[in-house]
Amino acid sequence: MGVKTFLENKLKEVFIKLGYNESNATLSFSDREKVDFQCNGVFALAKEKKQKPMDIANNIVKNLTTLSDICEITTASPAFINFELKNNYLSEIANKLLLDDCVGIKKIEHPQKIVFDYGGANIAKPLHVGHLRSAIIGESLKRLNILLGNTTIADVHLGDWGLQMGLIIAQLMDDYNLGFYFSENVPKFEITEEILDIIYPKASNRKKTDEEFYNRASDITLWLQQKKFGYYEIWQEIRKVSIGMIKRNYRDLGTTFDLWNGESSVNDIVPEVIDIFKDKKLLYKSEGAWIVDVADDNTNEPMPPAIIQKSNGAQMYTITDISTIYQRENKFKPDKMIYITDNRQTLHFKQVIKCVRLANIVRDEVEIEHITFGTVNGKDGKPFKTRDGGTFKLGDLIDLATNKALDKLKESNKIDIPCRELAKKIGISALIFGDLANVISKDYIFDLDKFLTFEGKTGPYLQYIGVRIKSILNKANLTNSKIIVDSAQISKIILAILKLNYSYEVAYKENSLHGVCLSLFDLASAFSTFYNDVKILTESDEVKKQSYLSLCKLVLNALTLGCGILGIDIPEKM
Ligand code: ARG
């Protein structure tokens, strides 16, 4: 149990004893001088009881004497109850944290099995800035879930089966000789990343004006879904080349998946799923297409019908997602399925989830949650674009961050031979922290200069502090691991770790890691204040020195663990 919960429980006992509404017995962390936790629930109580707030506060404090060994409890006007932990208690906590591999992080009581669907890259199209968010957010939420004890299955769910595939194949066939895929006597034409790079934008623009091309691409999409010879083989080749490219991007970001499935992976079960809808009389024909009516009579929310199958029989985005849910339910029997996409997909997932519930495709108790994120904007407040107005490719963005980090390293002469590998680690940490430090549902402004400063709320700052600590520990000989909390600076550090640990619980509830980012920053800056004030390595009192070194180790453990959840790697040097 965390310290905050422990104190809250004690507070609750007193509230119950005094006949006060216990829901007001909550504490929050406080940054004020000599206040570690604060209860501000007395005001609500005073209103309810029609008593003077300060009288109630004093009465509560009088009854909290059992805590006098571990904290100082005082009231402050108008009616706050303040808790300050005593140094001996903080020392005890610190030494427990030091011995724990999880640095005191509390596990979930009833662990769940959760399928995570994020990434969502489309094959044959380069990943772009939007995919950055899905990858970073999805990966960190998955890691957080693992840390807290859940079992996770992460699926990249590639976009590999829709009209875009027909468009790409049609354009490739127009521009190159793909005869090899249809007959044995033609030499093989190598489909490369470079070719794919130019084909999709070309096809996508052409479909807007060229009706014949659009119709041909639609036919090819259908033939592909029927696995017609030649088309299916071209598609397999495109998929193979493209996945190489996609994996590279994800690897750079530290994003990993257990499953490399895609929309195509459910092609063969779609008819079975459609039959479920037919049997339950949920499917209607409308203007040639098969649809499910998903409007909810109880709400006024507009909900257009979900289109399940096109008039030509081709499968649509909705049915692939429904079928994927069906497949995941049967294969993994998960407790929960979590989707992470940008907020433009809200309607799509509402329709999918409604269809799934109508047709009882998963057990009622399975939660299906759609987490949405906002847009990455430029400094002008509009979606972040390249100088000529194009969409930023993810690979280019990573290069940009890496190059900037390299310049900074050179500038500050922080390292003798600036190395690209290190710069990449720093660049990626800038991108990750710059993203995750925002509430995920909100848009944010992409400002690489800001993300890359070495002193401020940034990923590189966390790395910098981590590296400093590593260098201290490398130079010293830590023999006796015992932390003595005997100064305000040290107690601030221990409290920052407690706050960080609590931030994981909040992040888990809110599905957003912004609080973890801020708590990591607070911990790093608390350590920095301490580090600037004391001489660790030259401390002559050996007991003190060992305590400092143990504290360094504890902070490094907490930072490494927290940064690891975000996907930030602390280098050896910087
Ligand atoms: N491929 C889609 C896109 O880029 C995102 C996929 C999201 N996940 C899902 N299960 N539909 O728009």
111 band by pLDDT with thresholds 50, 70 and 90: very high
Whether 435 and 524 map to the same domain: the answer is: yes
Q: How far apart are CA 373 and CA 26, in angstroms?
A: 30
**Listed ranges 121-130, 324-333, 474-483; the one with the highest mean pLDDT:** 324-333
* Both structure tokens of 365: 């108790």
Closest C-alpha to ligand 1, atom 7: 120
Whether 150 and 170 map to the same domain: the answer is: no
Report the mean per-residue pLDDT for the chain. Answer: 93
Residues 6+ apart with CB under 8 A from 42: 24, 53, 56, 57, 60, 79, 80, 81
CA separation (Å) from 400 to 136, 254, 394, 423?
A: 17, 17, 10, 11
Instruction: Decide if 548 is inside a domain.
Output: yes
Of 67-76, 403-412, 537-546, the one with minimum mean pLDDT is 403-412
Instruction: Decide if 386 is inside a domain.
Output: no
Whether 223 and 134 map to the same domain: the answer is: no
Closest C-alpha to ligand 1, atom 2: 120
What is residue 96's predicted lDDT score, i.e. its pLDDT? 96
Instruction: Decide if 54 is inside a domain.
Output: yes
Of 459 and 201, the structure prediction assigns the larger pLDDT to: 459
Helix count (H) and strand count (E) of the chain?
19, 13
Residues 6+ apart with CB under 8 A from 340: 116, 117, 118, 134, 137, 138, 141, 371, 372, 373
What is residue 50's predicted lDDT score, i.e. its pLDDT? 86
Instruction: Decide if 417 is inside a domain.
Output: yes
Instruction: Decide if 381 is inside a domain.
Output: no
Mutate which of 345, 346, 372 to test ligand 1's pocket (most atoms within 8 Å of Cβ)?
345
Q: How far apart are CA 61 and CA 413, in angstroms?
A: 55
What is residue 436's predicted lDDT score, i.e. its pLDDT? 98
299 band by pLDDT with thresholds 50, 70 and 90: confident
Instruction: Decide if 544 is inside a domain.
Output: yes
Of 162-166, 327-331, 493-497, the one with minimum mean pLDDT is 162-166
Question: Of 198, 194, 131, nearest to 392 (Cα)?
Answer: 131
Closest C-alpha to ligand 1, atom 11: 321
Instruction: Decide if 541 is inside a domain.
Output: yes
State the distance from the centre of ligand 1 to the C-alpha of 118, rounded, in angstroms.
8
Domain residues for the domain of 499 are 394-566
Mean pLDDT throughout 294-308? 85
Whether 366 and 405 map to the same domain: the answer is: no
Whether 415 and 551 map to the same domain: the answer is: yes
pLDDT at 544 over 90: yes
61 band by pLDDT with thresholds 50, 70 and 90: very high
Mean pLDDT throughout 167-195? 92
pLDDT at 187 over 90: no
pLDDT at 416 over 80: no
Of 296 and 382, the structure prediction assigns the larger pLDDT to: 382
- What ligand 1 atom has the least distance to the C-alpha of 158? 1
Whether 536 and 469 map to the same domain: the answer is: yes
The pLDDT tens digits of the residues spanning 448-503 come to: 999 999 989 999 999 999 999 999 999 998 887 799 999 999 999 999 999 999 99
CATH label of the domain that carries residue 438: 1.10.730.10
Question: Of 167, 163, 186, nearest to 175 (Cα)?
Answer: 167
69 band by pLDDT with thresholds 50, 70 and 90: very high
State the distance from the centre of ligand 1 to the C-alpha of 525, rounded, in angstroms.
39
Residues 6+ apart with CB under 8 A from 471: 573
Whether 525 and 546 map to the same domain: the answer is: yes
- What ligand 1 atom has the least distance to the C-alpha of 324? 10
Whether 433 and 502 map to the same domain: the answer is: yes
Q: Residue written as tokens 């987490």?
A: 371
Whether 76 and 187 map to the same domain: the answer is: no
The full length of the chain comes to 574
The count of domains in the chain is 4
Exposed/middle/buried for residue 314 (C-beta within 10 Å: 0-12, 13-18, 19+): buried
State the distance from the centre of ligand 1 to the C-alpha of 331, rounded, in angstroms.
21
Mean pLDDT throughout 7-22? 93
The pairs formed by 171-177 with CB atoms below 8 angstroms and a separation of 24 or more are: 171/199, 171/202, 171/203, 171/206, 171/213, 172/199, 172/234, 172/238, 173/234, 175/199
Mean pLDDT throughout 107-131? 93
pLDDT at 549 over 90: yes
Whether 416 and 544 map to the same domain: the answer is: yes
Q: How far apart are CA 71 and CA 68, in angstroms?
A: 5
Whether 229 and 149 map to the same domain: the answer is: no
Whether 342 and 481 map to the same domain: the answer is: no
What share of the chain in percent tops pLDDT 90?
83
The pLDDT tens digits of the residues spanning 499-519 come to: 999 999 999 999 999 999 999
Instruction: Decide if 286 is inside a domain.
Output: yes
State the distance from the centre of ligand 1 to the C-alpha of 235, rounded, in angstroms.
19
26 band by pLDDT with thresholds 50, 70 and 90: very high
What is residue 47's predicted lDDT score, i.e. its pLDDT? 84
pLDDT at 418 over 80: no
CATH label of the domain that carries residue 54: 3.30.1360.70
Pocket of ligand 1 (CB under 6 A): 117, 120, 122, 157, 159, 321, 339, 341
386 band by pLDDT with thresholds 50, 70 and 90: confident
Of 313-317, 402-406, 483-487, the one with minimum mean pLDDT is 313-317
pLDDT at 431 over 90: yes
- What ligand 1 atom has the least distance to the C-alpha of 352? 11
